[in-house]
Chain A
C-alpha cells in the first residue's frame, strides 16, 4: 500500500465537506460531510434512490460535484480526477466485467489499464483468482459464472493494482447469503491490510459488519457512527416487541398510551418505543387486556439497526 503510507497514518483517506450533487432540480446529494480513515470500513446505508450511488460516483470522479469538496487520498476529485482514479478501486452497482471474456482475460485487461507491471502481473492474477475462489475456472467465460463468483471476481479486478481506497457500490445485491458472508470476510481482510473501504448497501444486517455507518436518506447524511452508537444513541427510550393475534389492530390504541414515543409495524410484530420498559409493560398489558387483545405478549428487545434507521428517517421528516 505505497499510496497509503505516503500519507500520514492519521490523515483521513477520504474527506468530504458539504458535498452537493444536483441533477437539474433534483438534489441527489445534499451537503454531505464525513471522513474515512486508513483501514476503515465505512458503510452507506439507505433505501434505493437515497443518493448512495451518486455519492460514490462523485468520489470516483465519474460525476462532477456542484458544490463542496471531496478529497480522496489527499487529492481533490474535482480538480484531478485522473490522479484519484490511479489510487482507487471501484465496483459499480451493475456487474461491469466483460461476459464474453474469460476470468483471466478480464483480470489481465484491468491489470493492463491500471498499469500493473508485467513482472507483478502473474502474482496479482494468482492472488485475485485465489481470493475470488476461482482456481480451476480461470478460463471460464465470465458470463457463465454464478452471481457470487462474479461479484468476487469484480472485487478481484478492483484490487489488482493494490489501491489504497476501495469504493464498492452494493457489491452483494442479488447474491446468496453464504456468498455475501464470504464477501464480507474479504472486505474485512482488506481493511486489516490498511485499505479504506467505502461500501454501500441496503441490507441492514450487512451494515453491522462495518466499522462505521452513514445513514443516508433523500440525499442527506442523517446519522453517522459505529453500529453500536447508532443503535444506542439514536433511540430515545427502550424498545418493546409486541406479538400475537390481531396485533395490527392494536396499533391505534397503543399509540395513545402513556409513555409511548413511537409504535410501528415491524414484519408481523409491533415495535414500540417507550420511556421505561419495566414501568410501562404491566400498564400496556392491562390496557390490551381491557380492550380484548388477551393473547398479546410483550417483551423488551435490543434495538437493531433497522429500528434506529426507522427512527431516524421518521425524525427526519
Chain B
C-alpha cells in the first residue's frame, strides 16, 4: 500500500465532500434530527392515558379512590360514564384506553374488612401500553389501599411508620421517566451511527460508476486497499463528528449520566463506525447504483441495530436461535459498550470482551470490503 496514492484519493474524496455542502449538511444535521426524534419519540413511559370511570358505588370511599386516579400524572380522566355500553363505545372509539369500574358495595367491603374489588377494562390492541396501563392502575390502587390500611391502623392507635407496603415500591421505576430515557438514548446513538456511517460510504463507489469516472480510475495503478482506505478516511472524520454531536446531545441535552472514560467511548465508537463504513462500502461495490446501495446499506445496518442489538428488545428474552443471531450484529457489542459506559461506568476489564469482539468484527469487515472490489469491467 502506497501512502502517496492513499493521500491522493483522500484529498480527492474530501474535496468532493466539501464541494457538495448540501450533502455535508445533511450528513451533519440528520443525526441531530434523529437524536431528537428518537430520543423523544421512543419512550417506554406512558403518561396521560385517557381513562373513563364508572362509579356504581358512589360513596366517599369510591370518590377517594377515583381522586387518586385523577391526581395521577399517568391518567387523564376523560369521562364519567353510567353504564357498560358506554364503556364499550368509548374503548372502541379510542376515547379511553382504560376504564375503571367501581362496583356497588365497594365501600361496604372495605368497612367489613372483606376487601373491596375494582374492575379495570383495558384496550389491549397495543399490548405494551395495555400492560403499562394495567400496571399503573395497580400502582394507583395499591397507593390507595396502603392509605386505607394506614388509616385503619391509625384509627386503632397503631404506629405510622410500621406500615410500608413493599409491592408498591417495586413498580416505582416506571414512574421515573428519566430512567427509561437514560436506557434508550445510548441505543439511539448506536442506531444513528449505524445509519449515518453506512449511508456515507454506500454512495462512494456507486457514484464513480454512475458518473462514469470508474473506468479511468481502475485503469490507474491504484490498489483496492488504497482505494478503500483513501475513500473511507474522510468519511470516518465526518462520522466521528456526527458521533461527537450525538454523544454531546446525549450527555448535555438529554442529561444521560456518563460514568465511563472518554477514551473508551471514542475507541468503541471508532470501531463501530469502521464496521458500518465497511458495510456501506461493501454494498456500494456490490450494487453499482447510489439509490440501490443506500437502500440496501440502510437495511443491513439500521434494521439489525434496531431489532437485534438489545436496544429496543432485551436479548435475554429472545428465543435461543435469535439470541445466537445477535452475535453477528455489530450493534449488539456497541450498544452493550455504550450502556456499560454511560450507565455503569464499567471498568476496562468489563469492556475488554465486547471491545475485542468489535475489533475482530471490524478487521473482518475491512478485509471483506477491500477484497470485494475488483479492478475490471468484466
Residues of A within 8 A of B (CB): 57, 60-64, 81-82, 85-86, 88, 90-92, 94-101, 105, 108-115
Q: B152 CB to closest chain A CB, in angstroms? A: 80
- Inter-chain CA distance A109–B13, complex, in Å, is 10
Residues of B close to A99: CB separation below 8 A: 211
- Chain B's nearest CB lies how many Å from the CB of A197? 16
Indicate whether A114 sits within 8 Å of B220 (C-beta atoms), given known contacts A63-B377, A63-B378.
Answer: yes
Complex partner residue of B212 from A57, A86, A95, CB under 8 angstroms: A95
Interface residues of B (CB under 8 A from A): 2, 4-5, 7-9, 11-12, 15-16, 19-20, 211-223, 375-378
Q: Which residues of A contact B19 (CB under 8 A)?
A: 100-101
Residues of B within 8 Å of A112, CB to CB, are 4-5, 7-9, 11
Check A62–B377 contact: CB distance below 8 A: yes
B215 touches A62 (CB 8 A): yes
A94 and B216 alpha carbons, distance in the complex (Å): 9
Considering the chains assembled together, what is the distance between the CA atoms of A85 and B20 in angstroms? 31
Chain A residues whose C-beta falls within 8 Å of the C-beta of B9 in the assembled complex: 109, 112-113
Q: Which of B215, B220, B376 has most A Cβ within 10 Å?
A: B220
Q: B11 → chain A, closest Cβ, in Å? A: 7
How far, in Å, is A216 (CB) from chain B's closest CB? Answer: 19
Instruction: Report whether over half of chain B's contact residues are helix, strand or loop; otherwise say mixed.
Output: helix
- List, in ascending order, chain B residues with CB within 8 A of A62's CB: 215, 218-219, 375-377
Query: Contacts A60-B219, A96-B216, A115-B221 hold; do A109 and B20 have CB atoms under 8 A apart?
Result: no
List chain A residues, Cβ under 8 A from B211. 98-99
Asked if A109 meets B212 with Cβ closer than 8 Å, knowing A62-B377, A115-B2, the reply is: no
Known contacts A62-B377, A101-B19, A90 near B5 by CB under 8 Å = no
- Pick from A63, A85, A94, A100: contact of B221, CB below 8 A: A85
Give chain B nearest CB distance to A106 CB in angstroms.
9
Taking CB atoms, residues of chain B closer than 8 Å to A113 are 5, 8-9, 217, 220-222
Partner of A101 from the list B5, B7, B16, B219 (CB cut-off 8 Å) is B16
Note all chain B residues with C-beta closer than 8 A to A92. Answer: 212, 215-216, 219
**Chain B residues within an 8 Å CB radius of A90:** 216, 219
How far, in Å, is A40 (CB) from chain B's closest CB?
Answer: 21
Q: CB distance A101 to B375 under 8 Å?
A: no
Q: How far is the CA of A86 from the CA of B223 in the complex (A)?
A: 12
Q: How far is the CA of A57 from the CA of B378 in the complex (A)?
A: 10
Complex Cα distance A112/B14, Å? 15
* Given A100-B16, A101-B12, A112-B11, 5 additional A-B pairs, CB 8 A: A100-B15, A100-B20, A110-B220, A113-B221, A115-B5
Q: CB-CB < 8 A to A96: which residues of B?
A: 212-217
Minimal Cβ-Cβ distance residue in B for A56 = B219
* Closest CB in chain B relative to A11 CB, distance in Å: 23
Look across to chain B and name the residue whose beta carbon is closest to the beta carbon of A57: B377
B215 cross-chain contacts in A, Cβ below 8 A: 62, 92, 94, 96
A99–B20 alpha-carbon span in the complex (Å): 12
A105 touches B12 (CB 8 A): yes
Please report the C-alpha to C-alpha distance between residue A91 and residue B377 in the assembled complex, in whole angstroms: 15
Q: Please state if A94 and B212 are interface contacts (CB–CB under 8 Å).
A: yes
